[in-house]
Chains A and B, each alone.
Chain A
């Protein structure tokens, strides 16, 4: 049991420590594809270090919500990390404390408080961005639900450790249409939830067009660092859910041996890097959608998720 808890700590350290690196690699790779040089891949670490050393300025108009939010945004992905299989194939200590729906709602809690905090300061851009974020996420949440319900329909459980083995037993079930369609749908909501390109431009700094970025505008110093770091971790956590639970549990540790953990850290990083390459291609080849086209993008994702469920009925129902 101690070993399991230790593994949990390693997982949290993995997500906490490497998520800025993944963000840095993504930025650098995107700039390189667009024939620019781009910042160093360690730039997010430097940004965080710089922000932690700076003084914090908090508006007198704001309430306790504004002060609590950075900690919530930082802590919620850490909680989710305890629930999902980051490095291991077998359930760890907290595995049955909550299923995928619980993980989703914990993540949504952070988003909810971030939106409240943006409204709290009475800065004109904050509420605008917050309401746009809400628009995207209230359309994305039913899709999360459908994806998780489809998963529970197929695998008989929403505990991620049980779900991940469903796609490879037998190996041929990797090619089931329900699996492929779910992946596609989940990829689209990862893009929407993290403000990636077809929905929002993460490198744009124009306040009127911002969606995701505008939530942190009012933060400075330590608050800004926590918000940023929390954002990186949320992105990494969603990637891990996608890659380890929904795609394929390849590269995960099968036993408690420390050597296996090291190999797993390496292989999971390789998986994430592969996914970042796909993301770079998506971000460099698509244009940002107009605000009112976002609902069409998310409807398409919804349809794909429901089509996954229907195709499970089609293929599994009569067989």
Chain B
């Protein structure tokens, strides 16, 4: 790794991890969205930096696609399609209290270090060392966000954070992945967001809430 690019890539990784923690902890739907945007920007930065380090042009295009979809189009899409009162809700119901959720998240991050190390020892030495464990941590923390949250939209952000994490680790392993796969993944993410948003809207209109814990029983229409 050359000069300043290596440490800068590591810094992007550290901030990526920090945003993953913040998404576990934040209480507001808007806050969750903001941290997701920042996490995606860290992802874009790292993609561009690895592109610079390894000299692969594809990664710059991937960075550009991600810059367009994740920090811009997805929030816009959600802002337009999800009802306002879900977005402005301040307190998200959580399964765990904030300190215990954060401490569990910490355990997950430490675990992903050991998971990442075994993967790294199998990979080529050219891989930027930080990306693999941080990407795995991002993936697991995204999954953890989904489990501790009881609200549809933050769960969606958890899902997107998982995608971010997988991507973050993946681009270190395969910096020259065919561009078509990246484009397909970006479109997939958009369609998932759109689908979940429409579902959320429909559920909100029908039931009046998108709190997952109150959606556990199936209620059938009374038969005539």
Which positions in A face B, CB cutoff 8 Å?
Answer: 172-178, 180-181, 184, 295-296, 299-300, 302-304, 306-308, 310-311, 313-315, 317-319
Contacts and interface: CB of A to CB of B under 8 A. Distances in A.
Contacts of B35: none
Given A175-B7, A175-B11, A304 B18 contact: yes
A176 B10 contact: yes
A311 B130 contact: yes
Interface stretch (B99-107, B142-150, B202-210, B212-220): B99-107
A177 B98 contact: no
Interface string B148-184: 0000000000000000000000000000000000000
B10 A310 contact: no
Given A299-B98, A306-B106, A311 B129 contact: no
A73 to B, nearest CB: 31
Contacts of B8: 175
Interface in B1-42: 1, 3-4, 6-8, 10-11, 13-15, 17-18, 21, 25
Interface residues of B, number: 32
Contacts of B6: 172
A307 B130 contact: no
Contact of A317 (B13, B21, B103, B129): B129
A314 B13 contact: yes
B17 A307 contact: yes
B21 A310 contact: no
Nearest to A184: B18
Contacts of A173: 7
Interface of B: 1, 3-4, 6-8, 10-11, 13-15, 17-18, 21, 25, 98-99, 102-103, 105-106, 109-110, 113, 116-117, 120-121, 129-130, 133-134
Given A178-B14, A181-B14, A299-B102, A314 B21 contact: no
B120 A311 contact: no
Contacts of A300: 25, 102
17 contacts: A174-B7, A175-B4, A176-B10, A177-B14, A180-B14, A296-B98, A303-B106, A307-B21, A307-B106, A307-B109, A311-B14, A311-B17, A314-B13, A315-B10, A317-B129, A318-B121, A319-B129
Contacts of B10: 175-177, 311, 314-315
Given A176-B7, A315-B130, A318-B129, 7 more contacts: A296-B99, A303-B103, A307-B106, A307-B109, A311-B17, A313-B113, A317-B113
A306 B102 CA distance: 11
Nearest to B120: A318
B13 A303 contact: no
Contacts of B116: 314
Contacts of A318: 117, 120-121, 129
A172 B7 contact: yes
A317 B128 CA distance: 12
A175 B105 CA distance: 25
A312 to B, nearest CB: 9
B13 A315 contact: yes
B202 to A, nearest CB: 34
B131 to A, nearest CB: 9
Nearest 10 pairs of A and B residues by beta carbon? A177-B14, A318-B129, A299-B99, A175-B7, A315-B10, A315-B130, A311-B14, A172-B7, A296-B98, A319-B129
B48 to A, nearest CB: 15
B162 to A, nearest CB: 19
Nearest to B5: A172
A299 B21 CA distance: 11
A140 to B, nearest CB: 14
Contacts of B15: 177, 180
B4 A177 contact: no
A43 B129 CA distance: 53
A308 B120 CA distance: 20
The residue in B3, B121, B129 that gathers the most chain A C-beta atoms within 10 A of its C-beta is: B129
A231 to B, nearest CB: 29
Contacts of B134: 311, 314
Contacts of B133: 313-314
Nearest to B98: A296
A314 B129 contact: yes
Nearest to A311: B14
Given A172-B4, A304-B18, A317-B129, A311 B102 contact: no
